[in-house]
Structure formats: C-alpha cells, structure tokens
Amino acid sequence: MSTVVLDPVAIASPAPVAAPVRSRRWLGLFAILAATIMNLLDTTVVNVGAPAIQASLGGSYTSLQWVAASYTLALAVGLLTGGRLGDMFGRRRVLLVGVVGFVAASLLCAVAWSPESLIAARVVQGLFAAIMVPQGFGLIRDLFPPHEIGKAFGTFGPIIGFSTILGPVVAGALIDADLFGTGWRMVFAINLPLGLFALLAGRAALPAATAPRTRTRLDVTGALTAAIGLLLLVFPLMQGREAGWPVWTFAMMAAAVPVLVAFALRQIRRSGSGRDPLVELRVFTRRSYASGVLFVIFFFGAIAGFSLAVGMFLQLVLGYSPMKASLTMAAWAVGAFVGSGFGSTMMNRLGRHILHIGLALMLVGTAALYPVFQLDGLGFRQLLVPLLVYGIGMGMIFVPLFDIIMGEVRDDEVGSAAGILESLQQLGAVLGVAVLGTVFFSRIDVGVERVTLIALALTAITFALGFLLPCKARA
C-alpha cells in the first residue's frame, strides 16, 4: 500500500502564480488526480501481476521482488530532491515533465522483453514519479482560493480512496481478459490514457508560476551517495537467498553503514555552511520525531511485505486467477478506505490514541489470518473478515500519522521533516518487500505463515513505538 506524497512547504507557502480561470480549476484538479492515480496503481500492480509476469518473462522469485522494490526504491531516493525541483523550475512544468517521463517509462514496462528490462523501466518510472507527485498538493493550493481548498481536498480524498480499491481489481480484470494477447502488459499500458489526460488537462488548466526561480541548488552528490548507500543495503537482502548468502552479501550490508554515515555528515556540513541540504538532520534530535521515523519504517515495512506475501500466496499457492486474487484483496482496500474516513474525523479528538486503535485492529486481523492460512480448502469467505479488519486498522493510521509524528516539530523544520518521512516511508516498504519477500519465497508452501508471524511482531513493535509519539496531531 502507498500513501499520497505530500509537499508541506508548498501547502504552507505557495509560490505566486497566475490566477487560473475559475472554470478550469476543477480540470486542473483532475489532472493532478490522474498523475496521483498513476503512482498509486504502479505501487500495487506487482501484487496482482507478478505471477503472470514471471510466466511470460521468466526469471526467479527474486526478480519478482525487484519488480516491486525497484520502483519504490527509486521513488524513495528521488523524493529527496523531487519536491525542490518544483520550487526551482515551477510546479506545473515539473509535474508535466514527470507525467511525460512516467508514461514513457510505463510503455517501456509494457514492452519489456526480460525481467531485467522490466526492472530497469520500473526504476525510471519511480524516478519520474518522485518528481511528478510532490507537485500535486502545492498546485492545488495554487489553483483554489482559501475558501475552496476544503472542497478541493474533500474531492481529492474519496477519489484516491476509490482508486486504491478499484485499481487492483481493474488490473486483475485486464490480466484475465488478455486483450489482444497483451495479458499483464495492459496493466502498465493503462497509464497511457491517464497520462495523456493529465498532460493535456494540466497544460490547459494548471497555473504557471510568475515568481522568479529560487536560487536553491540541488545536492546531486548527496543524492547519489544516499542512492548508493540504500542500494548496498537492499541489494544483498534481495539477492542473498538466491545466492545462498555468500560473504559478499554481508560485506555489502556492512559497507552501507559508512556510506550512509558519509551522507549524513555531508548534510550536516552543508547545513552548517549555509548551503541547502537534502535533509535537515537536526529534526532527529527530537525524541518524538526520531521515534516517528522508526514507527514509519516498521509500519510500512510490515504492510508492504505482508501484502506482497498475501498476494503471491493467493495466486502461487491457492491458484487464484489475478481477478479472483484482486477481489479477495479488495476487502483489505475497502477496510482501508473505511478506516481512513474514521481516522480523519477522529484524529483531533483522539490524538495518538487513534494510532493504537488502528494498530490493535491490525494485530487482531493478522492474528486471525494465521490459523486461516493453515486451513485445508481455504476460500474467499474465510479471508474476508480478517482482511477487512486489518484494512480498517491500517486505514485509521494513514491520515493522522504524519501530523502526529510532527506534532512537536518547529514551523521552520516542517518541510524537511515531512520530506524525510516520505522518503523513509518508501524505504520501509522496500525493506519490507526485501525481508518478508525473502522469507516467503524461501519456503513458498509455508511462507505466508512465517511472514504472518513476522508481520505480527513488526506491528507489535510499532504499537510500542506509538507511546513515544506526540499526544496530539500538529494543527
């Protein structure tokens, strides 16, 4: 599962823009929605299409993990700079460039001839998503006057929620339909009409910035250092099982530590010398924020790894078709939609208690799934209620989580703090796919049971970390 990437600096301090024609505001909003939906679809499509992809292109189970993780890893690294590009060159221009690149990468995915070519195209997709999606919320603020902002976001939320539910179902239907013999390739090709609409509507309706470009300079060396460090960490986790865990896998993971330390030291030096760092590390001096970072990594790691394992279990072990697997997993998405509505309305009243309520429901759903996965003749009805309960709990956490974590962050730190959380959210998902995916594929016959126990432990750790977070959400 994935959340919408947010640029809080753009929300708080939008750049001066040319006022859009009133009748075109909503067209601009739907252009932003189309771009956001493309990202949401491509973060979940592998859970539906992976077995069909493997049957078509071949490759190992590890390659399936990479098809999922390569997109998210590229997104995590790209988000460190993606939001700033909008400030430098204008959000409209950067979003449209991102849309063009994302659609081109989607077409490369659709015509992939090998697992390696698909993984490479997914990396390009993730990088363009990282510059495309962060522009959305700032552009909404540019499009609508203060008295209409609530109405705009009120439209945005439900559409994104329904897209999260219907996206995997549509993907499963496209794979099963096998239109013109395309099979899983249509799951990526569907981005073409979405992207074309976003491009044409965006050019017609999104406002162009009139303010001079910011003098901010990107720390390209820092971004590359972060990318190398994360790759040194993730690559051996993915490849280790297939390679038999040779010495080089542990050497790479050990090498990731000094590289990431070098990245942190570079950010500290840039901040101290008055230059723009990619991330402002001083926010980690706050215990509540540092605890929130761990919360995000464990929480999204558990969700991403568990959802991949369940999706693969339904198709590879139970023999479900992509459509049937999508409909089964839809109970999870419906629960998340319901839970997010409850979380958004109760977050100010309950504060961090809403997180513990949601995590408690996730624990109940996970615990209920463990004996269900061991049943002979397992069917849709036995999975429905536990997946629904898990989804409701998960959805309760999505909306208030970042506001609660940043409850004690100063106003001048909000932008950097939120940007770090967004990147680490994606990193947590990558680690979840790497670790829990490796556990699942190591013994596919009992893999989902082992993953369920690990997900239960990760959720329990997240529950404990919740007590270290601020009691109330940021206003």
Residue pLDDT, tens place only, 282-304: 888 888 888 999 999 999 999 99
Residue found under tokens 């394992």? 309
Whether 78 and 104 share a structural domain: yes
Q: Is residue 197 one of the residues assigned to a domain?
A: yes
Longest dimension (CA), the chain: 66
Boundary of a domain, candidates 174, 208, 242? 208
Give dist(CA 34, CA 40) in Å, integer: 10
The answer to whether position 398 is within a domain reads yes
Distance between CA 209 and CA 89 in Å, rounded? 9
pLDDT of 333-372, one tens digit each?
Answer: 889 888 988 888 888 888 889 999 999 999 999 999 999 9
Domain co-membership, 29 together with 175: yes
Domain annotation covers residue 3? no
Q: Give yes or no: residues 97 and 156 share one domain.
A: yes
Q: Is there a single domain that holds both residue 67 and residue 132?
A: yes
Residue 152 resides in a domain: yes
Domain co-membership, 113 together with 239 = no
- pLDDT over threshold 50, residue 10: no
What the block records as the tokens of 55 is 């049957």
Which residue among 234, 250, 277 closes a domain?
277
Between CA 161 and CA 82 the distance in angstroms is 24
Q: Is the same domain home to 82 and 158?
A: yes
Amino acid at 441: F
pLDDT tens, position by position, 162-172 = 777 777 888 88
pLDDT tens for 89-142 read: 888 999 999 999 999 999 999 999 999 999 999 999 999 999 998 888 778 888
Distance (Å, whole) CA 169 – CA 399 = 23
Residues 240 and 349 in one domain: no
Q: What are phi and psi of 157, to 5 degrees?
A: -60, -55
Question: Are 120 and 84 in the same domain?
Answer: yes
Mind giving me the DSSP string for 217-269? Answer: ---HHHHHHHHHHHHHHHHHHHHHHHHT--HHHHHHHHHHHHHHHHHHHHHHH
| Four-point Cα dihedral 421, 427, 431, 432, nearest 10 | 60
Is the Cβ–Cβ distance between 290 and 470 less than 8 Å? Answer: no
- Supply 292's token pair: 């929130």
Residue 407 lies in a domain: yes
CATH of the domain at 293: 1.20.1250.20
Tokens matching residue 344: 């958004």
Q: What is the pLDDT of residues 42-73, one digit of tens each?
A: 877 777 888 889 888 988 888 988 998 899 89
Burial group, residue 24, by CB count within 10 angstroms (0-12, 13-18, 19+):
middle
* Residue 409 covered by a domain: yes
Do 43 and 148 lie in one domain? The reply is: yes
467: in domain: yes
Q: How confident is the model at residue 20 (pLDDT cuts 50, 70, 90)?
A: low
pLDDT of residue 213: 53
215 domain residue, yes or no: no
Residue 17 bridge partners (DSSP): 209
Report the domain count for the chain: 3
- pLDDT tens digits, one per residue of 409-454: 777 677 677 778 888 888 898 899 999 999 999 888 888 999 999 9
The two counts, helices (H) then strands (E), for the chain are 18, 0
Q: Per DSSP, what are the bridge partners of residue 209?
A: 17
Residue 272, domain extent: 220-277
CA distance 302 to 50: 19
Domain identity same for 224 and 345: no
Say if residue 345 is in the same domain as residue 454: yes
Answer with the one of 185, 208, 231 that is the final residue of a domain.
208
Q: Are residues 92 and 198 both part of a single domain?
A: yes
pTM (2 d.p.): 0.84
